[in-house]
Chains A and B, each alone.
Chain A
């Protein structure tokens, strides 16, 4: 038996009719066409489907859409305003915080949820929080750097932090290539 509900997503109200067992993930993707939220594991482990509901980070693959009525839902589509990227989105681009990009909406949403409640987390706190968002491409170093760039308000870097991690050959007194 379908139910009529109003879902408020990214500040916009949507009237939709759906089964009470409809997952928020599918309501967003299939009913509202907001495909930025991704399905990765379907069991709430990988974080690709992360959205923010009333300030809380949730896995939309484990959340019923009807339970989100009268709540404020934020998805990746709600972050850029008038073509201007959110600082986290800008940072992920500048610092290479993604490769294939499938987990990226979830990573950025998770990071936003963290910074909304704790604007200056330590690296350890970021690590703890972001460990619920799996990425198979980056090895996470650049995700950490992207988030910390926003924390330190250094989105357009003079020097990318990875330059400290990635050793400059000139600074190492090593075997010189033969001519």
Chain B
């Protein structure tokens, strides 16, 4: 329920705190960092999807003028690393498992020399049989990619809640089908890069454009066999993350290994082609079989899925992503009896990983189409069917997710109004159709060491300005503005008086970084806790100065006074100076923390993933051209339940940007991979949406308040793209009666389906 809180900063017309630097080109991204004596690093990558390395001869490269270091696995401790499973090496040990894998690297005076040196490295290979399809890789006799991983299965689980067999028997309608999702690359306009330095004292300093600094530090330390604090990660400005800059790749490690051997700073920036081959880990693609049982009135009775997820050659976040695809959507609607079997399978392709939405877009692509199919067969408006089954506050999913705030029904109602759904549905035009889908997402996810928390430090300077020190991951999404707004609101100072420093693992306290739509909710709570604590220190000092009780004080617009006696006030600056400049003086500084009230999933995957769940509903009206197979989105509508909106322009931008990625995923984006070799790893062939691809959009935020959130807020960032592919596919079905079951939905597939349909 919405709390009647009056805010002076939150929800106001705020603009980005780093705005000036961004619009003037002053913001310093990784490629802009130049250090004295810095060398250019380049990586030699595998041309084969699966091959043994018999010998590497780098002697000619080493002799090339300008080359300062050539490294291979022999320069490493050959220790595997990974987010969940340690199965990849910084540089290939003995064999390669995908095209693009890092085999050797060169540091040289400039890029051109480094590239020339790569051509001089001679490698003797023995090609091995490779496997590219997850289902083929699971067959007996398929080539084994990792020793000891039988049938190439990296992970599998089987979960049943309730009694699915009985629930299907009690169902009036059963629908079943198989849907295939697709890989999708992050395509941040800035590629992954690092600038690494090594001091002979044993410490690495690595400038990175990562969205998860402390996870990067942990993984790099593990792979190099050193202690965490022997690595210092300093975050540069980040030119877009979307999950792709979570340090699941080897870029920073290679830079570090080169810097140590060369004794000089080394910069390694992925080219666009490298980014496609072996940079950001693309969305895990899955084949999902879904079977659902419904009662005549539309109530969901049972659901069964079988998920086969393509891990690629190594494991990044895919184990967790597969879990989400199998289980998360059971928090969207009210379920009782569900069963899922999931397999994560190695193939000889780029490792897959975290992309905005995690496992949700794949799962919703399948399940929301199955539900749409059921609505059609039952003769029920899909909007009414969604409303009837929608989760509500207090709902506990069969896997233990406990829903606190939930305005899914409000979102469905908003979608209906914004789309003028009933009217459009009643007056359907030929080849034009309506589709919708609902979604749920988390606000943080408990899966790293039973911790889903954050911390932040705030200090008040003598001039009255607050500085936030946070190790969280601003990747461009605007979380710094949200954190500054929360601190300003709590401290009673204008947002212009709040600054935030970029994350640095030596200076900021431990934070997990940007993933799972967690920063507003998790780090927002930590920032608010820190702000409360520094406010206590300020009030303690001010109480002495005003001869009042600290409990009677309030702060507003940078002034502190006794409630009701505003005329006698002190500035925050007055108080901070008085606290510091005296005998025994002390700075005003405090650290705050937060850990969500969630529960780590047990061995049966029962638990409560997140402290809060975000909901949304989307709808599209599309027109299908029967001659060309083109789909035109005539109108798009999105409603989001993210609790209190802290930073309106930022929140709107999250929804709008997510939609663009969702439309790309649904209709446009695809990488052709032949025999494990990407055929079109560039922006001219792998097209992402441009301004002209965006449809007319209306969207809105539900009136909502999350009691455990900072000022009632919860997560938002991923919600906007989760259901989009299903929404568009459902609308195409409504328009022309065909259902496309593999992504992306290309004109070719539509024409073929229309032909088959007669």
When A92-B23, A177-B704, A178-B1 are in contact, do A100 and B188 touch as well, CB less than 8 Å?
Answer: yes
A43–B276 alpha-carbon span in the complex (Å): 15
Flag A111-144 by CB within 8 Å of B: 1 or 0 each.
0000000000000001110111111111111111
Q: Is A160 an interface residue (CB 8 A)?
A: yes
- Among A35, A43, A128: residue with most chain B CB under 10 A: A35
A48-B189, A139-B694, A167-B700 as given contacts; A101 in contact with B409, CB under 8 Å = no
Q: B22 contacts A98, CB within 8 Å? A: yes
Tell whether A135 pairs with B418 under 8 Å between CB atoms, given A35-B31, A101-B239, A142-B653. Answer: no
Closest-CB distance, B450 to chain A (whole angstroms): 32
Within 8 Å CB of A37, what residues of B? 25
Chain A contacts with B in 98-116, Cβ cutoff 8 A: 98-105, 108
Q: Which of B29, B238, B412, B418 has the most CB of A within 10 A?
A: B29
Bound-complex Cα distance A103 to B691 (A):
13
In the complex, what residues of A have CB within 8 A of residue B5's CB? none
A76 at the interface (CB under 8 A from B): yes
Q: How many A-B residue pairs have CB under 8 A?
A: 220
Residue contact B189 to A136, C-beta cutoff 8 Å: yes
> Which 10 residue pairs across A and B have the least CB separation, nearest first?
A36-B25, A100-B476, A102-B239, A101-B22, A139-B656, A167-B700, A76-B25, A96-B649, A174-B413, A139-B660
Inter-subunit contact A99/B657 (CB<8 Å): yes
> With contacts A85-B24, A102-B29 known, what are 9 further pairs, Cβ within 8 A?
A35-B32, A42-B272, A76-B24, A76-B25, A96-B16, A100-B189, A101-B239, A108-B23, A139-B655
With A77-B24, A169-B414, A174-B414 as known contacts, state yes or no: A93 contacts B694, CB within 8 Å. Answer: no
Closest Cβ of chain B to A65, distance in Å, is 15
When the two chains form the complex, which single residue of A41, A75, A136 contacts B240, counting CB atoms closer than 8 Å? A136
A75: chain B residues at CB < 8 Å are 25
Tell me whether A160 and B25 are in contact (CB under 8 A). Answer: no
Give the interface size bracket for B toward A: 35 or more
- Among B2, B188, B649, B703, the most chain A Cβ lie within 10 Å of the Cβ of B649
Closest residue of chain B to A26 (Cβ to Cβ) is: B111
Say yes or no: A127 contacts B239, CB within 8 Å: no
Give the one of A43, A93, A94, A95 with max B CB within 10 A. Answer: A93
The distance in angstroms between the C-alpha atoms of A179 and B703, with both chains bound, is 12
Contacting pair B1 A40 (CB below 8 A): no
B15/A89 in contact, CB under 8 A: no
A74 to B434 CA separation, bound complex (whole angstroms): 47
Residues of B within 8 A of A (CB): 1-2, 13, 15-16, 18-29, 31-32, 186-190, 237-242, 271-272, 393, 407, 409-410, 412-414, 416-418, 475-478, 648-650, 652-653, 655-661, 682-684, 688-692, 694, 697-704
* B703 contacts A177, C-beta separation under 8 Å: yes
Say yes or no: B700 contacts A41, CB within 8 Å: no
State in angstroms the CA–CA spacing of A136 and B669 once bound together. 13
User: Smallest CB–CB gap between B30 and chain A, Å?
Assistant: 10
A interface, over-half SS? loop
Docked Cα-Cα span, A169 to B26, in Å, equals 38
The CA of A76 and the CA of B659, in the complex, are separated in Å by 28
Contact in complex: B653, A89 (CB < 8 Å): no
Q: Could you tell me which A residues sit within 8 Å of B by CB distance? A: 29, 35-43, 45-46, 48, 75-77, 79-80, 85, 89-90, 92-96, 98-105, 108, 126-128, 130-144, 160, 162, 165-169, 172-179
Residues of A contacting B418 with CB < 8 Å?
Answer: 167, 172
Q: Which residue of A lies closest to B648 (CB)?
A: A166
B19, B478, B682, B691: the one contacting A93 at CB < 8 Å is B19
A48 proximity list for chain B (CB < 8 A): 189
| Given A42-B271, A93-B16, A137-B653; A102-B691 close (CB under 8 Å) | no
* Interchain CA distance A76-B682 in the complex, whole Å: 25
Which chain A residue has the least Cβ–Cβ distance from B660? A139
Given A48-B189, A85-B23, also A143-B691 (CB < 8 A): yes
Q: How far is the CA of A39 from the CA of B238 in the complex (A)?
A: 14
**Which residues from B are CB-within-8-Å of A174?**
410, 413-414, 416-417
Complex contact A98–B23 (CB within 8 A): yes
- Chain A residues within 8 Å of B407, by CB: 177
Return chain B residues, CB-CB under 8 Å to A178: 1, 393
B residues less than 8 Å from A165 (CB atoms) = 697-699
Which A residues are CB-close (under 8 A) to B655?
A: 139
- Chain B residues with CB under 8 Å of A93's CB are 15-16, 19-20, 22-23
Among B19, B25, B32, B414, max chain A CB count under 10 A is at B25
**How distant is the Cα of A38 from the Cα of B477 in the complex, in angstroms?**
19
Let me know if A167 and B414 touch, CB within 8 A: yes
